[in-house]
Amino acid sequence: MDPVTPSIGWGVLHLYYRVDRARADQEPEAAKRIVDAVTSLEADGHQALCTAVLGHKADLGVMALGPDLARLHAFQQELLAAPLRPTFSFVSLTELSEYTTTEADERARLEREEGIAGDAAEERIAAWTERMAHYRENRIHPRLPAKKLLGFYPMSKRREATNNWYELPFDERKQLMGGHARVGRTYAGRILQLITGSTGIDDWEWGVTLLADDPVALKDIVQEMRFDPVSARYADFGPFITGLVLPPPDVCARLGLKGAEHA
């Protein structure tokens, strides 16, 4: 099939499965099917993280992303050849926020907060522009780091009569999101956050992926953001799913799939 490539960003799949124990007992190479599917996807220029899910919402979690939705679909089908039963999935795209700070915003901030304007601001603006280019690239084409935990949840902005996010003026929404982002930046180094867009693609409007080494960091960032107006007044959340990030053979071994030692 011809590639299906977004004009902006990459496709992202969050896939969750239970192990079909009856099938797994009969398949001596169950683990190899999963490991081979991940290896093949990564060889085609995509990324995948496998998780052993904590709790009973699923057994196996897989986050896959890359430039070709058709390739991601083929990967999805390859996993179904293993003894797995799907329990939940989420489809989204990497994206830039419409509320991202502009150069004009930064110039105004420098003058307002630091009294820097005109030629004196140019060096600061040049450094800011370089940082923003790096930030945008990381949002659109992220490289997933090696962390111990992956937490995921979908969310939407509320559209109730008295708390309708989409009836707020853009400037008010941007100001609110600026405060929300400042909370998130305080977790730099502890958490990598990836917000992906799913409006018109899946049932929720965004997917939130949190990668961390410390489970307390996952808890703390969500807890703190709950008190921010963007979440407290205007956000609805789907299920939260957390898993241990491990190499595919190790995940398969934890799940009791045969052949993990040879995968």
Domains of the chain and CATH, by start: 11-95+246-262 (3.30.70.1030), 141-243 (3.30.70.1030)
Tokens of residue 89, six digits:
């999935």
DSSP one-letter string for 99-151: TPPPHHHHHHHHHHHH---GGGGHHHHHHHHHHHHHHHHHHHS------SEEE
User: Token pair for residue 46?
Assistant: 């995509």
How many other C-beta atoms can be found within 10 angstroms of the C-beta atom of residue 139? Answer: 18
Rounded to 5°, angle at Cα 130 from 128 and 136? 100
- Note the pTM of the prediction, 2 decimals: 0.93
pLDDT digits (tens, 9 = 90+) for 114-172: 888 887 888 888 888 899 899 899 999 999 988 999 999 999 999 998 899 999 999 99
C-alpha–C-alpha distance, residues 44 and 16, integer Å:
22
Q: CA–CA separation, 159 vs 161, rounded Å?
A: 7
Tell me what the pLDDT averaged over the chain comes to: 93
- Per-residue pLDDT tens for 38-75? 999 999 999 999 999 999 999 999 999 999 999 999 99
Q: Report the alpha-carbon distance of residue 106 to residue 184 in Å, rounded.
A: 19
Among the listed residues 16, 17, 135, 153, the single catalytic one is 153
153 is catalytic: yes
Helix (H, G, I), strand (E, B) or coil at 58: coil
Q: Where are the alpha helices (DSSP H) in the chain?
A: 21-26, 30-43, 69-80, 103-114, 122-140, 170-185, 215-226, 229-232, 248-254
Q: Which amino acid is at 125?
A: I
